[in-house]
Amino acid sequence: MNWLHLGKPIYGHDDFTDDVIGFVYEITYSNGKKYIGKKLIRSMRRLKPTKAQLAIRKNYKRVEVKNLPFVKYDGSSKETDGLIIAKKEIIELCSDKINLTYCEMKHMILNNVLCDDKYLNGNILGKFFKGKIV
């Protein structure tokens, strides 16, 4: 099953602009339950500079962008293990990790995931838990 963004299928990294590093998603299951989460699709890795780069400048920083697999990603939550996926939808694209975490939390709060039984999310940021929020 492919991811959908604005009604269009997403097949890989080429379907996003280069500045997108992750997205907030909503997965709908066959029983009508939903799950909101985030997925990182690119990472910035700091590598040791090459000898040629060190010859130019001693404090040379070499950064490589690595694409992470996401197409077959079905979520990593224990609450969703064994459930059949009906729809995988990308809600929002993000260009840095801070905004990615903020957007995930924003969508969780706007959809009231901790109080609404149709959502399987058990917590928000590991600080606010289902059953503890009134």
| Cα distance between residue 70 and residue 22, in whole Å | 10
C-alpha span between 32 and 78 (Å, rounded): 17
Boundaries of every domain in the chain: 3-42+69-125
Q: What does 48-96 look like in DSSP terms, one character per residue?
A: PPPHHHHHH-TT--EEEEEEPP-TT-----GGGTTPPEEEEEEEEEESS
pTM: 0.86
Residue by residue, pLDDT tens for the chain (134 residues) are 899 999 999 999 999 999 999 999 999 999 999 999 999 999 988 888 888 888 887 777 788 899 999 999 998 888 888 899 999 999 999 999 999 999 999 999 999 999 999 999 999 998 998 877 76
Strands 85-94, 3-5: pairing is: parallel
Instruction: Give CA–CA dist 84/19, Å, rounded.
Output: 32
Residue 4: strand, helix, or coil: strand
